[in-house]
Amino acid sequence: MQDLIDRLPSRARFALALVALAATAGCLRGPTCTEGACREGAVCDLDGTCRPLAQPARRPTVHQAARDFGATRTDRRREALGDQDEALLGGDADGALYLTFALPDRPVERAVLVLHPAPGASGGSSQTVRVARVRPFEGATLTHRSRPTTAELGPARTLAPVTDRPIRIDVTALVHDTELLHLAVSASGEGLPWRIASPLALDGERTPRLELALLPR
């Protein structure tokens, strides 16, 4: 075989070498992939090979809906408001929202509370929104007069009213090694309170949620 190759013109030998090189490169690259065919932690790249994802992108994210909730306001001190499809935050009603979330049995790298304006909300005044971890409560019986006590203060942010996008608050500091996380969201400010969609909102995309980025076990 080598004698036959040596007898070929130099141009033919060069072309044959290119063909062999391309075939070898194809073997090294491995079989082509299709989207969804790569192992966990990899993605099908443009050249048809499985490429490992960057480390931050490999963090699994879990969206937790509230397991229980309650709402309070000063103009309805004696009433349990856990059957409403929206809650008030701050303003002249001094409204607050209480939420319970289940936590997965894995270390949490980051936790973000996501709240959406209620449908038809028309804004309000600027508010200083606060989140705290509170003692366990039962949303169905929670009233302004029976509010749970604060266990740990969390972040506070002064925000302008929003009607077309969610409020996102980092609550990682309030997440501990427990099965349930009980949060209170309150606000202080003058004028009209904010209308926030509750877990009973008809639009499931607007209900409160806890976004959790999880660390490897």
Q: What is the pLDDT of residue 217?
A: 75
Same domain, 143 and 81: yes
* Domain finish residue from 55, 76, 91: 55
CB 103 within 8 A of CB 178: yes
Same domain, 32 and 50: yes
Q: What is the pLDDT of residue 12?
A: 55
**Per-residue pLDDT band at 44 (split at 50, 70, 90):** low
Same domain, 46 and 135: no
Q: What is the CATH number of the domain that holds 202?
A: 2.60.120
**85 compared with 27, residue with greater pLDDT:** 85
Same domain, 72 and 160: yes
Q: What is the pLDDT of residue 43?
A: 65
> Distance between CA atoms of 125 and 94, rounded to whole angstroms?
13
> Distance between CA atoms of 90 and 87, rounded to whole angstroms?
10
Same domain, 21 and 51: yes
Q: What is the pLDDT of residue 53?
A: 60
Task: Indicate whether 33 pLDDT > 50.
Answer: yes
Same domain, 33 and 128: no
Q: What is the pLDDT of residue 182?
A: 98
* Domain finish residue from 20, 38, 55: 55
Same domain, 76 and 10: no
Q: What is the pLDDT of residue 159?
A: 87
What amino acid occupies position 71? A
Work out the average pLDDT over 80-104. Answer: 93
- The domain tally of the chain equals 2
Write down the pTM of the prediction. Answer: 0.72
Q: What is the pLDDT of residue 149?
A: 96
* Domain finish residue from 55, 70, 85: 55
Same domain, 158 and 86: yes
pLDDT tens-digit series, residues 131-170? 999 999 999 999 999 999 999 999 998 888 777 789 999 9
Task: Indicate whether 48 pLDDT > 70.
Answer: no
Same domain, 19 and 90: no
Same domain, 126 and 138: yes
Same domain, 11 and 74: no
Same domain, 159 and 185: yes
Q: What is the pLDDT of residue 101?
A: 98
Task: Look up the domain containing 18 and give its range.
Answer: 2-55
